[in-house]
Structure 1
Amino acid sequence: MAEFSESSQANVYCQASRSNITRQSSRSSSETLSPSCSSPSSTENDVPSSTCEWRRSLIEKLGIRFERKSPTDIIMEHMSAVAYNLMRDEIQNLEELTDILGHLNNLNHEKLLEINFKGLNFSRPVEEKLRYSNRFKEIDISKYSTFMKKFGVSLWYILKEKQPIISEEKYRCLFEQFLQMFGIDVMAHPVIDAESTDISGRKVSAKADIVCFSPRDVKKYTLAICEVKKECPFTDEETGPSPQKFRRTEDSPQRSQSCHLPDGLLAQHVGDLLTYLDKSICKGAILGMTVEKTMVTFTRLSVTDETMEKLQRSHGSLKLKEEERPVLYYSKPYNYLLMEDRKEIVKALLTLTVMEKRRAKKS
């Protein structure tokens, strides 16, 4: 087994964004990278100026519908507006490639702390075999090999410290490198600035933890925005019943719609999607991901221009016709440490990589 030295550690710094805000006066040093998230005095109908202060009750007032789908379906439906869809034989080849890349050196654990760091081996894979299996010129096997080793080095270094608690920053760094393995370009601090938009007549700002971007457009550059969750510090009195974690159930092929924010998704993430919407490569829709430790949930917010204008001008509850309401598509959470879950994530990311690189051909 190959062992990594400390000097090999990948020095990737992930941008900070606060998933939740505490009213305590003390702040950790990692929180200084976010926009100010102090809770101002406001009436019930006020929209907080920072999305990290948004609550579930506000999302309900915005009239958003929620529908669960698989990660790959979310990606395919989103990218089909700007890129050529995959052909049947391409989908089959993508699944074969997913089986290979999804193994990730047979990593298969529920939690990071269950992994024996002494047994980690993330040496460069046999690229000739991967190139033979890969029929997509959009997928760079050498990039996969490079970031796979960086991911392994960072994972080894984190586990070698034997800390009882792994910080949010380290989970961000690991996921950023995980994305890069599968061809996703990402931006991190200090490149990204906070974005802003008008909601209910008030300027609202947001800063994503990780921005997946397309280098082909400097104005409409956002592929997806990622939020890395923290433990929620609010009391039940402030937020209502504490959200429960998603149940580990299969994605239903039938549509399952709801008018309530699903358990496990934070109101801040919806606010972030709205704020970054006009930077999305797809008109009227934006992709997102939320990460809770090693659990990944895919999201997609779809909003028409007319509805967005109403959201920007409205005050209090928004009166919308059924067909006007924004829709947030979301997947169940998948653990990228578990092999079967990881394959679902990898398939979606490879699909996103291929279709994003095909945008230039369609335009």
Structure 2
Amino acid sequence: MRCFLIPEMERVYTSTDEESSCVDEQASESVTDIHKRASKDFHGTSSKRSRSPGSDTPSVSGHSKKKRNDPRCLPPSVSSWTRHCAERLGIFFNEKASEITDFFALSEKSYAFEYPLKGGNKTLLDTLVNVTKEKMCKARKLSWSITEGATQGFPFLEESARCQEILADLHDIAEKDEDSDIHIVQYLRRSHYKVEEFFMQLQKLYLKRKDGKKLAESDFTELLAGFTRIFLLNVEEVISKRTLKIGNSTVSSVPDLCFWAQFPFPLYSVAVVAVAEAVIPDTVKLDEMKQADEHDIFEISMAVGNKVLGQHAGELLLEVGNSAFRNVALGIICMRTMIIFTYLEISPKHLALIEEKGDVDCRLQINGKRSGTIYYTRPYDYMVEKDRCEILEFLFWLGLHSLPLDYRPKPVKE
């Protein structure tokens, strides 16, 4: 029997000095210890934090021990979670969208990410962004949206010819790249091959459209994987199961995609991706979202249903122990060719409470800062030039820091 919960009025919990010191103590954990714990977590088991018998934990009224530890109330697979499941654990989506530029602040919580880049690193980033803008702007020659309904009348020959023109143009742009600094050319070549592969992927989708076949969720997953490889990201498509002990039950997740890096050992996840097939069934609503340029009016429930929000919140929670960002997991929600960047920020104290109690159901404040918040951007359609140009720098910033150690930007001494 499934247990349905009636959400209570929002409560805010403020930690005591003793609890705050617990957070500070965990935050001062050595990098070596963090690496050991993350190595264990990455292979499918989340560490169980030890607690002394007399340690204080926040009490939450209105919930019995039986209810907190009842596994029927929290599905064992996050693919079955709803938004209410996440809120039971004190995880809430922010009230409104953030700017993509706000996400660069993740560098402050990372093991190896630097922002802003300086000197030659900044020149490298700017060059990659500007050259890719020029290469990818050719996509506007493709007049038919790949998200249109399947039809036998799709002008495959015309669109295929345009793809061939774009590939020829890319060759001319690549030749101009050879005039750049030899160090930068290495990175441009890496990216250039992936740009070519992306346009070849589009041709495959056009061929499928020509045959009257409907594009499936897997098609958009593969297309997003191809798009993100342009930015030097390492894409993991065969994902291992993530697990976390929550109360008396164990929950698991398998994201659709994962981006990863090595810092230098072990492997860390840079971002997890959830691909939603039909979260926007209304074409008019989709068009309205594309035209919404004022970021502060976008609220994520306008675009994404509670089931997808709950699933993604669970995936972010289970990824925190593997993440390249301390106490933060970065993610992406993909809807066809539209992507929303997200990240969950959760304190060690909050995470320990989830693992021990299996139920929080309130908003926690640790050291005066709200814990368990998922921040997000507005949707960006990477097939639309204006949207794509806004996210190029962030994606290349992630990609450059995900490269093998010898190719990663080195900190510039002042």
User: Aligning the two structures, in what range does the TM-score lie when normalised by the shorter sequence?
Assistant: 0.7 to 0.9
Using the alignment, how far apart are the partners of 2:102 and 2:180 within structure 1?
23
Instruction: Say which is worse superposed, 316-325 or 329-338, in terms of deviation.
Output: 316-325
Structure 2 counterpart of 1:199: 246
Matches for 1:190-269 after TM superposition, within 5 Å: 192-231=239-278, 247-248=289-290, 249-250=292-293, 252=295, 263-264=303-304, 266-269=309-312
Using the alignment, how far apart are the partners of 1:299 and 1:180 within structure 2?
19
Correspondence for 2:230 among 157, 181, 192: 181
Give how far 1:291 is off.
Answer: 0.9
Structure 1 counterpart of 2:381: 335
Give how far 1:176 is off.
Answer: 0.7
Structure 1 counterpart of 2:319: 276
Give how far 1:86 is off.
Answer: 1.9
Gaps of 5+ in 1: 1-41, 234-243
Correspondence for 2:139 among 91, 102, 107: 107
Using the alignment, how far apart are the partners of 2:298 and 2:357 within structure 1?
24
Q: Indicate conservation of the 8 Å contact 1:47/1:200, yes or no.
A: no
Correspondence for 1:54 among 81, 97, 111: 81
Give how far 1:283 is off.
Answer: 1.4
Matches for 1:66-81 after TM superposition, within 5 Å: 66-67=93-94, 68-74=97-103, 76-81=104-109
Query: In structure 2, the residue corresponding to 1:153 is in which secondary structure?
Result: helix
Per the normalisation by structure 1, the TM-score is: 0.72
Deviation readout 1:92-115 (Å, 9 max, x if unpaired): 874564243134152136831568
Give how far 1:128 is off.
Answer: 4.3
Give the structure with higher Rg (CA): 2
Q: Indicate conservation of the 8 Å contact 2:276/2:336, yes or no.
A: yes
Correspondence for 1:165 among 214, 221, 232: 214
Structure 2 counterpart of 1:22: none
Using the alignment, how far apart are the partners of 1:209 and 1:56 within structure 2?
19
Using the alignment, how far apart are the partners of 2:330 and 2:294 within structure 1?
18
Query: In structure 2, the residue corresponding to 1:80 is in which secondary structure?
Result: helix
Per the normalisation by structure 2, the TM-score is: 0.64
Give how far 1:87 is off.
Answer: 4.3
Q: Indicate conservation of the 8 Å contact 2:329/2:345, yes or no.
A: yes
Q: Indicate conservation of the 8 Å contact 2:353/2:360, yes or no.
A: no
Q: Indicate conservation of the 8 Å contact 2:98/2:376, yes or no.
A: yes
The one-letter code sitting in structure 2 at the alignment partner of 1:111 is S
Query: In structure 2, the residue corresponding to 1:107 is in which secondary structure?
Result: helix
The one-letter code sitting in structure 2 at the alignment partner of 1:118 is A
Deviation readout 1:84-137 (Å, 9 max, x if unpaired): 222477668745642431341521368315682332132443324336568985
Give how far 1:144 is off.
Answer: 1.3
Percent identical among aligned pairs is: 20
Pair 312,111 (structure 1): closer, same or farther in 2 beyond 3 Å? farther
Q: Indicate conservation of the 8 Å contact 1:85/1:355, yes or no.
A: no
Structure 2 counterpart of 1:35: none
The one-letter code sitting in structure 1 at the alignment partner of 2:260 is F
Pair 154,85 (structure 1): closer, same or farther in 2 beyond 3 Å? same
Give how far 1:336 is off.
Answer: 0.7
Using the alignment, how far apart are the partners of 1:110 and 1:202 within structure 2?
48
Deviation readout 1:130-157 (Å, 9 max, x if unpaired): 3656898597111111111111112112
Using the alignment, how far apart are the partners of 2:351 and 2:373 within structure 1?
12
Using the alignment, how far apart are the partners of 1:135 and 1:268 within structure 2?
45
Q: Indicate conservation of the 8 Å contact 2:87/2:361, yes or no.
A: no
Structure 1 counterpart of 2:347: 304
Correspondence for 1:352 among 398, 404, 411: 398
Structure 1 counterpart of 2:42: none
Structure with a larger share of its residues in helix = 2
Instruction: Say which is worse superposed, 160-169 or 266-275, in terms of deviation.
Output: 160-169
